[in-house]
Amino acid sequence: MSDTHALLSDYDAEDIIEKDKRHVWHHLLQHKILEEQDPKIFVEGQGARVKDIHGNEYLDASSGGVWCVNVGFGRESMAKVIYDQLLKLPYYAGVAGTVPAAQFADKLTDLLPGLDRVYFGNSGSEANEKAFKMVRQIAHLNGNQKNKVLYRDRDYHGTTIACLAASGHEERRQAYGPFPDGFAVVPHALCYRCPFDKSYPDCNIECAHALEQVIQEEGPDTVGGLILEPITAGGGVIPPVEEYYPIVQEICDKYGVILIMDEVVCGFGRTGKMFGFEHYEVAPDIVTMAKGMASSYAPISATAVRSEIFDEFLSDPSDKYDYFRDISTYGGCTGGFAAALENMRIVEDEDLVENARVVGDYLLDRLGELSDHPNVGDVRGKGLFAGVELVADKSSEDPVGEDVMAAVIRAIAAEGVLVGGTNRSIPGLNNTLNIAPPLIVSTADVDEIVAAVKVGIEKGC
Ligand SMILES: Cc1ncc(COP(=O)(O)O)c(C=O)c1O
């Protein structure tokens, strides 16, 4: 074993914890908490299970914490293709091409009929930033003001300032303003807490029609894009009703609004279809992707567009500003493309989209059995992508507090299962458990997850 490898494998747990506590600034974490407790440190994973530094094993129903390790942990073939590609050519800037970039772009556009051009980056936020820049530049190129992007309440599109400006997660935005102009919100599509106080199906799908009103208020001449998660993820796992997207599509077509579908979480099988939008009658103009694209074995993201959009940027080479003047250094890392290609092979060869559909239906059925519990307000989802909304009181639908959520998630972990939860997202409504295991899980794994969730709710609420 080389010395470098020894550094990674020979360590003392207490020393690592001490180094982590002293130097690592964790994501989305109030570090004061670590004065009382140790951070969770994971050391290995196999299939749907991970092990922490103390040797505790968990069934990871969060797919790496943020629903992204879709093909599961410990895939030797993923490591091997990345290794081989890195030895051959680790990197070349995206202004040029590489073999795996071309191969993966070809594969991806086969999966996305109508979208035939792909722009690569390295995070979901970045993929969305590219889409916003495209909308804005198209307005410039056409000499109009259609540069605003609408977004939906409770949707999340990323961590950068523009992505936060386009995210309906008030708590994530707190204290990071001022935000750039050019973003406006449309209502969310969660029936359980209908923003119009109506009940489906007698609601005229007001949440979808509200888009037209917002476009009118903002000025149809100023609205160029609409970004939506096909099924809201971090905002509480919210699949809109089936009528929602055809109405949205019609309004976008009527007002010439570019429809951007953020498939960062839903994409690549999570919901039981290859892409979340395929559950609905809708045809996006731009699709953004990351997380499950390479199951997070390597960072990579993509912004796929229709040729009409790409063609907007074709002009006489003497025009200095008319092409898409954007570059991401790490959009040229070839390990990500190799990983994405192998990820797709695994998803297809092992029929993981179908597994997500079948085992996902089972998951939702089994979670549905918890609906009688006095603290379970709503169970919803699609595929291996489920949310359990916890309430203090079923009739008033008052949400449980964040302390209760934390206690429930801790109690579930004590049962050997990791789940996520809405986290500093929606004021007063960080009360949905997120369950999104790797797409390889079996019904027996689901039984284990549901049993732990049941115990967690009973103990924590
Ligand atoms: C729907 C959605 N879009 C975009 C992002 C941002 O992705 P990243 O964290 O890779 O920038 C996330 C992250 O959780 C997400 O859930």
pLDDT of 198 above 80 = yes
Distance from residue 452's CA to the centre of ligand 1 (Å):
27
Distance CA 299, CA 336 (A): 6
Question: Among 287, 291, 293, which residue has the most ligand 1 atoms within 8 Å of its CB, making it the best to mutate?
Answer: 291
Q: What is the pLDDT of residue 374?
A: 97
Q: What is the pLDDT of residue 2?
A: 52
CA dihedral 58, 60, 62, 64 (to 10 degrees): 100
Which CA distances in Å does 222 have to 87, 138, 182, 185? 49, 12, 9, 14
Question: Among 264, 270, 328, which residue has the most ligand 1 atoms within 8 Å of its CB, making it the best to mutate?
Answer: 264
What percentage of the chain reaches a pLDDT higher than 70?
Answer: 98
Q: pLDDT for 57-80, tens place per residue?
A: 999 999 999 999 999 999 999 999
Q: pLDDT for 6-38, tens place per residue?
A: 667 788 999 999 999 999 999 999 999 999 999
Q: What is the pLDDT of residue 324?
A: 97
Distance from residue 314's CA to the centre of ligand 1 (Å):
29
Distance from residue 420's CA to the centre of ligand 1 (Å):
15
pLDDT of 4 above 70 = no
Distance CA 236, CA 87 (A): 42
Q: pLDDT for 132-190, tens place per residue?
A: 999 999 999 999 999 999 999 999 999 999 999 999 999 999 999 999 999 999 999 99
pLDDT of 1 above 50 = no
- For ligand 1, whether the C-beta of 229 sits within 6 Å is yes
Distance from residue 264's CA to the centre of ligand 1 (Å):
6
- For ligand 1, whether the C-beta of 129 sits within 6 Å is no
Q: What is the pLDDT of residue 3?
A: 59
How many helices (H) and strands (E) the chain has is answered by 14, 16
Residue pair 123/298 in contact (Cβ under 8 Å)? The answer is no
* DSSP string over 351-378: THHHHHHHHHHHHHHHHHGGGGSTTEEE
Distance CA 389, CA 255 (A): 35
Which residue is closest in CA terms to ligand 1's atom 3? Answer: 157
Q: pLDDT for 262-290, tens place per residue?
A: 999 999 999 999 999 999 999 999 999 99
Q: pLDDT for 325-374, tens place per residue?
A: 999 999 999 999 999 999 999 999 999 999 999 999 999 999 999 999 99
Q: What is the pLDDT of residue 320?
A: 87
